[in-house]
Amino acid sequence: MWVMRTDERITLAMAELLRRQGYAATGVNQLARAADAPTGSIYHHFKGGKREVAEAALRSTGAAYIRLLPLLLDPYEDLVEGIEAAFAAAGEDMRGTGWANMCPVGTVTGEVADVEPRLREVAGEVMAGWIEEGTRYLAGRGLSEPGARSAMYALLAALEGAFILARGLRSVEPFAAAGRSVAAYVAALGDRAAEPGGAIIR
Amino acid sequence: MWVMRTDERITLAMAELLRRQGYAATGVNQLARAADAPTGSIYHHFKGGKREVAEAALRSTGAAYIRLLPLLLDPYEDLVEGIEAAFAAAGEDMRGTGWANMCPVGTVTGEVADVEPRLREVAGEVMAGWIEEGTRYLAGRGLSEPGARSAMYALLAALEGAFILARGLRSVEPFAAAGRSVAAYVAALGDRAAEPGGAIIR
DNA sequence: CTCCCACTAGAACGATCTCTCTAGAGAGAC
DNA sequence: GTCTCTCTAGAGAGATCGTTCTAGTGGGAG
């Protein structure tokens, strides 16, 4: 049977801990236990220690998350409808995991951007990548480039915020409302793009 | 000259630290230094220790934040226009503070909801209060009650998410886009409410 | 004045933190 | 077989954590 490499196990365990309890509250010993690896192995694979593990975890989950965008939206011919459905799916996933499945990138950014500047940088790079890829995707679905970019900013903001509200309120309602809001925005962008005057800029 | 009570100073310093570096990364000694109070005084005023101080900080900033809603939106006769302006103002405030002025309620919720259940509860109460008061306000501005509630969920989600994105990306663009998105949603709700058929539900 | 009590002040405690260090296991080269 | 090198394993160092504890200060009541 194939087994995961130790450094991958460590990265994955860190990502899981980050999204449940953040960076500062996660200890190296706890990480070692979760990854089923001794403390020494962590420092063997990640000479930068806890921070370097967190960087790797942010990058790896960042890459995984953006792949969900086409995965969730491709099945819907109507983009607006797809967005509402995607938000609803995210909400159900959160409910199913006991309101724990936060986005680690958002959690870490909110938590220690000042105290750990390197993590802020990495999170910023991941987010910028999301914007770029997401903009390309939405433009491919018919939005103007500036409209797609703006919609992507709005979508990510609504999504990250919905995670937080849902976690605090223990309700999927924030996801439902955020989805309707972003859908309305994309619909408005599309309407205006379809007008005789042509595409709208903002 | 009037001086602030010690417990108020402690609460305020905690709120400031929470929104800059979160709960876990904030130490009691650091809090004492920031509040200019000895460690003993903290435990005299807050027998529950660090957690109780955080609870007080969440409640007090929660009450302060919701007051901003009418303060920012009342000057605008057009609600949709006011929402865009309010988001822009929040973004500029964040830029002006070096991208540090997060919402402590959002930060703490994302960070330690699992590890500190009591803080999650308090954050949930604060958020629920925001929804209630905000719904009343938006209904007073002409939205149907269900529409106002949904808009409030969307507004808060977009706002909390914009804080995070702006902090990571060091840009006000997330606030601008989130503002446009929520504005588009409120406009759509209003349009439909103004239709001959009457108010829309969702 | 004395008494009282709210509060200040910070030393000290045990636990826990990140990180380092030494010892050895195990696979592949020769 | 032996040598080598990567990785495992966890004990330990040194700092810092949240909290408790004792001592002392200062202002108002009687």
Q: What is the CATH number of the domain that holds A141?
A: 1.10.357.10
Residues B112, B114, B118, B123, CA torsion sign: positive
Query: Domain for residue B82, yes or no?
Result: yes
Domain membership of residue A36 as a residue range: 6-194
**For the residues B13-36, what does the mean pLDDT come to?**
95
Closest by Cα among A46, A25, A41, A171 to A112? A25
Query: Domain for residue A200, yes or no?
Result: no
Query: Domain for residue A47, yes or no?
Result: yes
Which whole-number Å values give the CA distances from A105 to A111, B16, B196, in the listed order? 10, 22, 45
Cross-chain Cβ contact B169/A202 below 8 Å: no
The larger pLDDT score, comparing residue B55 to residue B195, is at: B55
Total Cβ atoms within 10 A of residue B4: 11
Residue A81 Cα, gap to closest chain B Cα (Å):
15
Query: Domain for residue B1, yes or no?
Result: no
Q: How confident is the model at residue A2 (pLDDT cuts 50, 70, 90)?
A: low
Query: Domain for residue B25, yes or no?
Result: yes
Query: Domain for residue A202, yes or no?
Result: no
For the stretch A11-25, pLDDT in tens is 999 999 999 999 999
Give CA–CA dist B123/B111, Å, rounded: 12
Residue A199 Cα, gap to closest chain B Cα (Å):
16
Is the predicted pLDDT of residue A3 greater than 70, yes or no?
no
CB A29 within 8 A of CB A97: no
Number of domains in chain A: 1
For the stretch A111-143, pLDDT in tens is 987 889 999 999 999 999 999 999 999 999 999
DSSP letter string, A135-186: HHHHHHTT--HHHHHHHHHHHHHHHHHHHHHHHHHT-SHHHHHHHHHHHHHH
Instruction: Using a CB–CB cutoff of 8 Å, tell me whether A65 touches chain B.
Output: no
The larger pLDDT score, comparing residue B192 to residue B122, is at: B122
List B residues 156-175 in contact with A (Cβ-Cβ < 8 A).
Answer: 156-165, 167-170, 173-174
Q: Which residues of B touch A100 (CB under 8 A)?
A: 113-114
Provide, in whole angstroms, the distance separating residue A43's CA from nucleotide C20's C1'. Answer: 10
Which whole-number Å values give the CA distances from B127 to A97, A109, B131, B166, in the listed order? 21, 20, 6, 21
Which whole-number Å values give the CA distances from B36 to B24, B41, B97, in the listed order? 20, 10, 22
Is the predicted pLDDT of residue A104 greater than 50, yes or no?
yes
Query: Domain for residue A199, yes or no?
Result: no
For the stretch B102-134, pLDDT in tens is 899 999 999 987 889 999 999 999 999 999 999
Query: Domain for residue A18, yes or no?
Result: yes
